[in-house]
Structure 1
């Protein structure tokens, strides 16, 4: 239980640090957020729990393929906000479009021999 608490605290600290830094500097907040810190933490936690490098390799490969549809959120959200959309509506639409892009990617990849 202690390990789970430590994992949760470290992960929460990272998210709060990104949000706080983003309030002070959009560039540095974005720079920190764009690093694959969450993915790295997740892979470290998996490795520490399992010592299974094959699982880490599979996770890293899946993350690569799923980053591609996630980019839609970062393209669509600022476009909608700059066009004057309400934040919550723009976030909802961007998230929905991203979810559809994920579904399309998950459907498409096996047709090219890629397994997640």
Structure 2
């Protein structure tokens, strides 16, 4: 139980640090947020729980393919915000687009030989 709480605390601290940094240096905070810190931490924790090279390889490759459908959100949101849409509307639209693209990836990825 302590391990789970420590993982949650570490994740929360990372999010808070990025948000606080974003108040002063938004571009640098974006750089930090774009780093695959969550993926790296997740892989470390997964490896500690199950040190299996094939399992890790599948996980890392699937992570790559699932990152791709999330990227358009970071173009749609600024476009909407700059064209008068509110933050919550832009965020919702970006999230809905991401979900739709995830579903497309899950549907068509395997047909294209992509392991997801």
TM-score normalised by the chain length of structure 1: 0.95
Aligned to 2:104: 104
Post-superposition offset of 1:53: 2.2
Q: Deviations over 1:21-75 (max 9, x none)?
A: 1111111100100000000011111111111222211111011001111001101
1: CA distance, partners of 2:113 / 2:72: 23
Root-mean-square deviation (CA, aligned residues, Å) is 0.9
Gaps of 5+ in 2: none
Which residue in 2 is equivalent to 1:17?
17
What's 2:35 paired with?
A: 35
Aligned residues: 116
Give me the TM-score of the superposition, normalised by structure 2: 0.95
Verify: 1:7 aligned to 2:36, yes or no. no
Q: Which runs of 4+ in 1 moved over 4 A?
A: none
Partners of 2:61 and 2:115 within 8 A in 1: no
1:87 Cα shift?
Answer: 0.9
5+ residue gaps, structure 1: none
